[in-house]
Amino acid sequence: MGKILLMQILKTIAEVRQWVQECRRAGEAIHFVPTMGYFHEGHLSLMRRAKADGGRVIVSLFVNPLQFGPQEDFERYPRDFERDRAMAESVGVDAMFVPEASEMYPPDFQTQVRVQRLSQPLCGRSRPGHFEGVATVVLKLFHIVTPDRAYFGEKDYQQLRIIQQLVRDLNLTVEIVPCPIVREPDGLAMSSRNVYLTPEERAAATVLYRSLQWAQEQVAQGMRDAHVLREQVQAQIAASPYARIDYVEIVDAETLEPLEVIDRPARIAVAAYFGKARLIDNMALNPPSG
């Protein structure tokens, strides 16, 4: 009979360092998936990709208080450790780092990092301090886990760009692997926050995907005017009685600066409330060349 390899649960930084040392001694690469738990197919797709790339896979599960504003959903953010543990194990994750907040942020903790320009637009405007919280915890996790590769979903596109910039600016050696958005059959982007939706809000929320897809088709057919396209997408979403729009923006895919003319790789990004849930989504807008 083959050896049964159970996923290890690591609670302290010291335990992670020990685990990493053992992997390194065995000549294994370390592939890392940072998460806040309450797993869905989107998370599992990152873990499967990390596994398929070889090496040993470690997932962190930490609802990071630093990235939630005082009026946000830190307390009620969905949590289910036993379910998460079983799901991660089922896709072959080797270790899960599940620290207490005091392990990550001892009482005298006082350092934060800020990726200046990329943190300002889009979600940065309505969630002050959010991306500083993300960049700080991810940098800490990178120093603790010392991964060769780390996997991030494109659903949090601004977060992905910020982490890529952080890695470049601070000369980190980890390779960031962007992974595509995973959607429900009707197009709704998977998110742990989808559990906040009532059945009516859940049905209405598909307008986000439909309007983004429509925008993508317009650009593929030659539409260049970002202002007009943005207004049209906004109108489609606003037509839903359940939607309260935070923003609809068309931005340069690299710098996240707003575009007037879609003449380069761009991204359309939306954030809207459906009841208590603040949902985000985005899609690539690639103007045909020539």
> 151: closest CA among 171, 174, 132?
174
Of 67 and 194, nearer to ligand PAF (C-beta) is 67
Which residue among the candidates 40, 43, 130, 227 is catalytic per the annotation?
43
Residue 31 is a catalytic residue: no
Distance CA 288, CA 290 (A): 7
Bridge partners for 34 per DSSP: 60
Site for ligand PAF in 135-154 (CB under 6 A): 137-138
Of 137 and 208, nearer to ligand PAF (C-beta) is 137
Strand order of the β-sheet with 95-97 is 8-10, 95-97, 56-61, 30-35, 149-153, 175-179
Among 84, 94, 154, 156, binds ligand PAF (CB under 6 A): 156
Quote the least distance from Cβ 53 to ligand PAF, whole Å.
19
Question: In this structure, are residues 236 and 218 in contact, taking their beta carbons and an 8 Å threshold?
Answer: no
H or E stretch covering 41: helix 41-52
Q: What is the DSSP pairing of strand 149-153 with strand 175-179?
A: parallel
Site for ligand PAF in 68-87 (CB under 6 A): none
Residue position matching structure tokens 């925008």:
215
Q: Which stretch binds ligand PAF (CB under 6 A): 10-18, 131-139, 170-178, 276-284?
A: 131-139
Quote the least distance from Cβ 241 to ligand PAF, whole Å.
30
Quote the least distance from Cβ 43 to ligand PAF, whole Å.
8
Quote the least distance from Cβ 210 to ligand PAF, whole Å.
24
Query: Residue 43: what are its φ and ψ, rounded to 5°?
Result: -60, -45
**64 in contact with ligand PAF (CB under 6 A):** yes
Quote the least distance from Cβ 264 to ligand PAF, whole Å.
27
Using CB atoms within 10 Å of the CB of residue 148, give its burial: 0 to 12 exposed, 13 to 18 middle, 19+ buried.
middle
Of 64 and 236, nearer to ligand PAF (C-beta) is 64
Distance CA 168, CA 14 (A): 27
**191 in contact with ligand PAF (CB under 6 A):** no
Bridge partners for 153 per DSSP: 179
Strand order of the β-sheet with 277-285 is 243-252, 266-274, 277-285
Site for ligand PAF in 248-287 (CB under 6 A): none
Quote the least distance from Cβ 259 to ligand PAF, whole Å.
25
Site for ligand PAF in 1-60 (CB under 6 A): 34-36
**61 in contact with ligand PAF (CB under 6 A):** no
Of 137 and 262, nearer to ligand PAF (C-beta) is 137
- Active centre residues (catalytic): 43
**Residues at the contact surface with ligand PAF, assessed by CB under 6 A:** 34-36, 64, 67, 134, 137-138, 156, 159
